Chains A and B, each alone.
Chain A
Amino acid sequence: MQPSYSAEDQAFRAEIRAFAEANLPADLARRGLYDYHPRREDQARWMKILAEKGWSVPHWPQAYGGPGWSGVQRLIFEEEMRRAHAPTADRIGTELVAPVLYTFGSEEQRQKYLPAIRTGETFWAQGFSEPGSGSDLSSLRTRAVRDGDEYVVTGQKTWTTEGHHGDMIFMLVRTNTEVKPQAGISALLIDLKSPGITRRPIWTIDEGLTVNEFFFDDVRVPAENLVGEEGAGWSYAKFLLTNERTNSAEVPHTKRDIAQLRAIAAKETKNGKPLMEDASFRARLARIEVDTMALEVAVLRALTSGSHDGGSIASLVKVRGSELRQRVADLADEALGDRGLAVRLSPEAEHVMFEDGLTPPVPEHGVGISAKAMFRRATTIYGGANEIQRTLIAKTVLEL
């Protein structure tokens, strides 16, 4: 038992921090300060820089370009990236799709897709949920019918995160309707430029664009784009969603948010005194930090156990982590007082739903905060709603 960061871990952290300070372009860091949706070109620029250093895909096996870091080192790396306000990677591609490809994909698929994901040239979208299939994903209905060397895909996908940035989409489709729902699902890789695909943006509570709907109308997909075996898509999906849940604790992001909250509080006053001296504010901030500390160690436990504990720890940290993300965003907005009620998006934001031409009197440190507090309502829904996670915990860990 050595439940703290070792000297090597700390040296590793210092190395990452120094690299970010020396290499993160200033315009990227400035836009990252708002924590708004990163631009694709910003993400790609930073991915390229990291790829040259060999750090763009921390969790991949070394054979495919990963740096061979431990779980703890990966978490440290992610924390330092958040701390530096660096743009995130294409997380759908690097964290969800790539592990499926290097675990279950063909050698041709690995060679074709993985290098471009690693360098930030190709961005991916995920096509899982459908209007009638959210938490109950196995009921999905998008059909893929084999026709010679191709599949013909027809149906609709929704909640495709950052789908407007995607070149390719990793799709779960129904290839067999005769068997039980889970057994009739396959995974297909589809070029989003294929004829027959239309995209509709879904504007959300933050007046921003994160998710999209995709409509597939007789889209022809080469049969070689099938991942693994036909009918095995459900097991790949479970593998992939377990990865999503482990990552969705989002401790590095929450720690970054706490630092931002402290910076906001240092500039705000309440009843004529610095906000940090307000007893109630202090107590609530402290409670968020206390809970984050515990969550961080829970994540470290999961990362050092050498397995995903059958998904049980993943579900557990997702529940607490997603709730914490809401709490920290709400407290940051509250710290802004009246200014936290105004709509004030990042001036460099792309994809703004409604430009009202108005500039509210929100200080620089409050830009994007209210939108973030609104959008965080989604954290307890996506990646498997928390109600589903709690049921999983009850069944798999408590064996109820």
Chain B
Amino acid sequence: MDFTYTSEQDALRDSVRRFVEREFGWEERFRIIRSETGIKAEHWATFAELGWLGAGLSEEAGGFGGGAIENALIAEELGRGLVTEPFIAHVIATQLLAAIGSEAAGELIAQLVMGEIRVVPALQEEAGRGDWRQVATQAQGGKLTGTKTLVEGAASADRLIVSARDGDTLGLYLVDAASTGVSATPYRTLDNRRVADITLNAVEAVLLASGPEAEAAIAQAMDHGIVTLAGEALGVMDAALWTTRDYLKVRKQFGTAIGNFQALQHRMADMLIEVEMTRSSLYAALGMMADDDIRARTAAVAAVKVQASTGGVYVGGQAIQLHGGIGVTEELNISHFYRRLYVIARQFGDAEMHLARFAEARDAA
């Protein structure tokens, strides 16, 4: 048992942290989120150059030798700065391709980790409310028809990996984003991320995997993506916690720093407990990612999603409360921490869905 990061992992963390501090200052972030695309195209090239796009992928799969630990760590640091680049979408796409493992998938991975193309997953649908396992999109004669929701990074994607059913058989399909029959409804989520609903109307697609192979690839990639998302939640929570701690030391009311009031001290202690339980749940899930026992892996991933969802909304909400009025302003980062944690709590299923998923995995064990 060892919970220390390697020197390579520490170096990776430093590299992401320096990027966030240098390129994603608070004023610069406002310029980016108010821009037409909500992201900055040059950033992705930097991500590729610094090796982050392949850092969480084994060498056999075409990456640079890491795994979920690296991805969670990158996401944690991006979370501190509320970076809006669709990193999680990239992670899920590469993990899907890695799990499929075909030659075509390998070629895509090679381009993806270099930042030469952009591929994003389009797995969710409205009826699922975050549950990617509810798929109604139809594949008939190799053509896809249906609507996928909350597709992050859709505007800059060259290809989409879409889940669809051919009869009763689930499949994963590669779609060229510029194909005839693909239409996107772009919008902004509460956390100022850009997403789109993608409607497919008899769109030409290439089958990547089907049946149990596709199901296993989706399960593996979504678990990896959720763990990465939990890493991001941890970064946001930790930033919200310590920013609030610093404020309590300088904000004076009734002739004293408000951090001297016991009621607020206890609240901060509860917030810290949530942060540390999220960190521990994350480590528990990271420890299961390479395990052959898929049910145990799923249980651990569902567990960290539950903790990150409920703990995140609590920490984000209390960070606002302890800041008082300025906590709800657009200007300050505190309200943005809350908005991101609020969205994360529902992304890929809320706490309730993951509690059920956890219980099912335990039943089967």
Using CB atoms and an 8 Å cutoff, list the residues of chain A in contact with chain B.
129, 132-136, 139, 158-159, 202-205, 207, 211, 269-272, 280, 334, 337-343, 353-354, 356, 358-361, 370, 373-375, 377-378, 380-382, 385-387, 390-391
Q: B360 in the interface, Cβ–Cβ < 8 Å?
A: no
Given the known A-B contacts A202-B329, A203-B329, A387-B263, are A381 and B185 also in contact in the complex, defined by CB atoms under 8 Å? no
Q: Tell whether, in the assembled complex, residue B321 and residue A380 are in contact, meaning their CB atoms are under 8 Å apart.
A: yes
Does B329 lie within 8 Å of A204, measured CB to CB? yes
A residues within 8 A CB of B325?
129, 134, 158-159, 211, 378, 381-382
Docked-complex contact A387 and B264, CB < 8 angstroms: yes
A374 touches B329 (CB 8 A): no
A360/B130 in contact, CB under 8 A? no
A358 to B185, CA, bound (A): 8
Is B277 in the interface zone, CB < 8 Å from A?
no
25 contacts between A and B (CB under 8 A): A133-B253, A134-B325, A136-B254, A136-B255, A202-B331, A204-B328, A204-B335, A205-B328, A205-B335, A205-B339, A207-B330, A270-B129, A280-B352, A338-B149, A340-B346, A341-B189, A341-B190, A341-B346, A342-B189, A342-B190, A360-B187, A361-B187, A374-B190, A374-B335, A382-B325
**Nearest chain A residue, comparing its CB with the CB of B149:** A338
Chain A residues within an 8 Å CB radius of B263: 387, 390-391
Q: Which residue of B lies closest to A280 (CB)?
A: B352
Whether B129 lies near A338 (C-beta < 8 A) is yes
> In whole angstroms, what is the CA distance A202 to B324 when docked?
14
Asked if B331 contacts A134 (CB within 8 A), the reply is: no
**Which residues of chain A have C-beta atoms less than 8 A from B127's C-beta?**
269, 272
Complex interface: chain B residues within 8 A of A374 (CB): 190, 335, 338-339, 342
B22 within 8 A of A: no
Decide yes or no whether B317 CB sits under 8 A from chain A. Answer: yes
Of A129, A271, A338, A358, the contact of B150 (CB 8 Å cutoff): A338
Q: How far is the CA of A63 from the CA of B187 in the complex (A)?
A: 54
A residues less than 8 Å from B331 (CB atoms): 202-203
A137 (CB) vs chain B CBs: closest residue: B253
Q: A134-B253, A334-B346, A390-B263 are in contact. Are A342 and B188 (CB under 8 A)?
A: yes
Chain A residues, CB < 8 A from B335: 204-205, 374, 377
Expressed in whole angstroms, the minimum distance between the Cβ of B342 and any Cβ of chain A is 8
Most chain A beta carbons < 10 A, residue from B34, B130, B190: B190
Q: Which residues of A contact B69 (CB under 8 A)?
A: none
Let me know if B327 is at the binding interface, CB within 8 A: yes
Q: Mark B169-197, 1 if CB is under 8 A from A, else 0.
A: 00000000000000001111110000001
Cβ-based interface call for B124 (8 A): yes
**A335 to B, closest residue via Cβ:** B129
Within the complex, the shortest CB–CB distance from A181 to chain B, in Å, comes to 10
Q: Least Cβ distance of A326 to chain B in Å? A: 8
A133 to B255, CA, bound (A): 11
B126 within 8 A of A: yes
The complex places the Cα of A354 from the Cα of B330 at a distance, in Å, of: 11
Interface residues of B in 314-330 (CB under 8 A from A): 317, 320-321, 324-325, 327-330
Chain B positions 292-331 with a Cβ under 8 Å from a chain A Cβ: 317, 320-321, 324-325, 327-331
Please give, as numbers and ranges, the residues of chain B lying within 8 Å of A343 by CB-CB distance: 187-190
Q: Which of B23-63 contact A (CB under 8 A)?
A: 34
Q: Say yes or no: is B343 at the interface (Cβ < 8 Å to chain A).
A: yes
Contact of B126 among A280, A337, A373 (CB under 8 A): A337
CB distance from B322 to the nearest CB of A (A): 9
Q: How far is the CA of A343 from the CA of B188 in the complex (A)?
A: 6
Contact of B77 with A by CB under 8 A: no
With A361-B197, A373-B342, A377-B327 given, can you name 17 additional A-B contacts, CB distance below 8 Å? A132-B252, A136-B254, A159-B325, A202-B331, A205-B320, A205-B328, A280-B352, A341-B150, A341-B189, A342-B190, A343-B188, A360-B188, A374-B339, A380-B321, A381-B321, A382-B325, A386-B321
Knowing A338-B124, A360-B187, A380-B321 touch, does A205 contact B338 (C-beta < 8 A)?
yes
Contacts A269-B127, A272-B127, A377-B338 known; A134 to B324 CB distance under 8 Å? Answer: yes
Residues of B within 8 A of A211 (CB): 325
Interface bracket on B = 35 or more
State in angstroms the CA–CA spacing of A358 and B254 once bound together: 46
Interface flags for B125-157 (1: CB within 8 Å of A; 0: not) read 011011000100000000000000110000000
Residues of B within 8 A of A386 (CB): 321
User: Do B185 and A334 touch (CB < 8 A)?
Assistant: no
CB neighbours (8 Å) of B124 from chain A are: 338
Given A377-B338, A387-B263, is A358 in contact with B329 using a C-beta cutoff of 8 Å?
no
| CB-CB nearest in chain B for A356 | B188
* Cα-based distance from A338 to B328 in the complex (angstroms): 23
CB distance from A147 to the nearest CB of B (A): 31
Is B76 at the interface (CB under 8 A from chain A)?
no
Most B CB within 10 A of own CB, among A270, A280, A337: A337
Please determine whether A358 and B188 come into contact, CB atoms closer than 8 angstroms.
yes
B350 at interface by CB-CB < 8 Å: yes
CA of A385 to CA of B321 in the docked complex: distance in angstroms? 8
| Nearest 9 Cβ contacts at the A-B interface | A360-B187, A136-B253, A337-B129, A205-B335, A203-B330, A358-B187, A136-B254, A341-B189, A205-B328
A residues within 8 A CB of B150?
338, 341
How far apart sit A337 and B129, CA to CA, in the bound complex (Å)? 5
**A159 CA / B325 CA spacing, docked (Å):** 7
Write out the residue numbers on chain B whose beta carbons fall within 8 Å of the beta carbon of A134: 253, 324-325
Q: Which residue of B lies closest to A373 (CB)?
A: B342
Instruction: Name the CB-closest residue of A to B334.
Output: A205
Chain A residues in 8 Å Cβ range of B134: 271
The listed residue (B186, B189, B329) touching A205 by CB distance below 8 A is B329
Q: How far is the CB of A400 from chain B (nearest CB, A)?
A: 13
Residues of B within 8 A of A158 (CB): 325
Q: How far is the CA of A269 from the CA of B255 in the complex (A)?
A: 53
Q: Give complex CA distance A381, B150 in Å.
A: 32
In contact, B343 and A341 (Cβ under 8 angstroms):
yes
Q: Do B328 and A377 touch (CB < 8 A)?
A: yes
The CA of A136 and the CA of B324, in the complex, are separated in Å by 12
Chain A contacts of B321 at CB under 8 A?
377, 380-381, 385-386
**Cα-based distance from A374 to B316 in the complex (angstroms):** 12
> Closest Cβ of chain A: how far from B231's Cβ, in Å?
20
CB neighbours of B338 from chain A (8 A):
205, 374, 377
- Report the separation of the CA atoms of residues A203 and B343 in the bound assembly, to the nearest whole angstrom: 20
Tell me the minimal C-beta distance from B89 to chain A in angstroms.
Answer: 15
A136 to B338, CA, bound (A): 25
Inter-subunit contact B324/A385 (CB<8 Å): yes
